[in-house]
Amino acid sequence: MSYILGRIGQAVIVLAIAFTAAFVLLQALPGDALLIKFESPESGLSPDQIALLRDSLGANIPIWQQFFDTLGGFLVGDFGYSVQSGTPVSVIIASALPNTLVLATSAFVVAIVLAVALAVLAQLSWLPWLRTMLRSLPSLFISVPVFWLGIVLIQVFSFRLGWLPVINPGPIEGLIMPVAALALPIAAPMAQVLIRSIDDVLTQPFIAVVRSKGASEWWILSRNVARNAVLPALTIAGLLLGELISGAVITETVFGRAGIGRATEQAVTNQDAPVLQAIVVISAAIFVLVNLLVDLLYPLLDPRLKTIATVNA
């Protein structure tokens, strides 16, 4: 219990730092979203009316009070109101988040499948040139930017071949290219770490003992190597979630999908600080939660870590 509480306490501290950093950085941005919106001639508002609006929206209260008011609202699920549209930020997030979660979850599952398949094929392939090629693929895809890969997929599979429409695609068709653009750069580092981890485990003495008993390479890989080699890959998978979230934002912008990416783009254009802060904090919360689950899974996968956690408790 003390191990779990310690990890939860660390997660809470990280979230508090993320919230504070987002608040400070957004307050330091040049310009004023309220002035940008209401001082335009189209609004037809006088300076006195604009001042009243600023007072009603709490823009003139001290920064420290804004910080604690915003923090209190976040703790109860009140993210404030969008400066640009006046819509509650929670409504904007609730309408945009499901599409992004579908994209990110699908891409993450595909990335895991690709990483495992590439690592297994690179280990079991009997052709030296094929094994070398498979081991070189992760380094290639790591260096590929998400936005560039998305543009290439659109050019090839939509404009050249006409296989996948970009305008008004179906639910499944609209996911294929964004998922591919997001999954490949995520799968590459996972495959790279998994390949190296498998190589390290195969050098252990107990593998030689199992091999001397006549076990096949597939038996050794699936029964003896997999559980020992998965821990480093599990670590990198949790850390890659941050890249997955940022990649989802870029991918949604490239493919014109409605989601957190579109909401972020509009919030940045309009300097809509409440929306941006909610997106940053929610993204950080998802990232911290996944890494917390990874930490809690470690003792279940490795008995040595379970023993250490018990001794420390």
**Distances in whole angstroms, Cα of residue 169 to Cα of each of 28, 172, 173, 180, 183:** 40, 8, 6, 16, 20
Phi then psi for residue 88, to 5 deg, are: -55, 135
Range of the domain at 239: 92-312
Instruction: Find where tokens 């996948």 sit.
Output: 164
Residue 170 placed within a domain: yes
| Residue matched to tokens 């409504």 | 91
Predicted local distance difference test score (pLDDT) of residue 303: 58
Would 100 be classed as within a structural domain? Answer: yes
- Flag whether 186 is in a domain: yes
Classify residue 109: in a domain, yes or no.
Answer: yes
CB within 8 Å of 243: residues ≥ 6 apart: 185, 186
Whether 283 is in a domain gets the answer yes
Q: Quick check: 3 pLDDT over 80?
A: no
Residue 66: inside a domain, yes or no?
A: no
Q: 70-84 burial by CB neighbour count: b if 16+ within 10 A, else e?
A: beebbeeeebbbbbb
For 93-120, what is each residue's pLDDT tens digit?
888 888 888 888 888 888 888 888 888 8
Mean pLDDT for 140-148 is 76
Lowest model confidence (mean pLDDT) among 14-23, 27-36, 186-195, 254-263: 27-36
Q: Residue 22: inside a domain, yes or no?
A: no
Q: Is the pLDDT of residue 218 over 60?
A: yes
Write the pLDDT tens digit of every residue in 166-175. Answer: 777 777 777 8
Q: What is the CATH number of the domain that holds 227?
A: 1.10.3720.10
Asked if residue 98 is part of any domain, the answer here is yes
Closest CA to 180 of 232, 216, 144: 144
Task: Report pLDDT digits (tens) over 244-273.
Answer: 777 777 788 788 788 888 888 888 877 778
167 class by beta-carbon count within 10 Å (0-12 exposed, 13-18 middle, 19+ buried): exposed
Separation CA 308–CA 142 (nearest Å): 35
pLDDT at residue 260, rounded to an integer? 84
Residues facing 88 on adjacent strands: 81
pLDDT at 220: 78
Cβ pair 86, 56 in contact under 8 A: no
Q: Structural domain tally of the chain?
A: 1
Provide the strand spans (E) within the chain. none
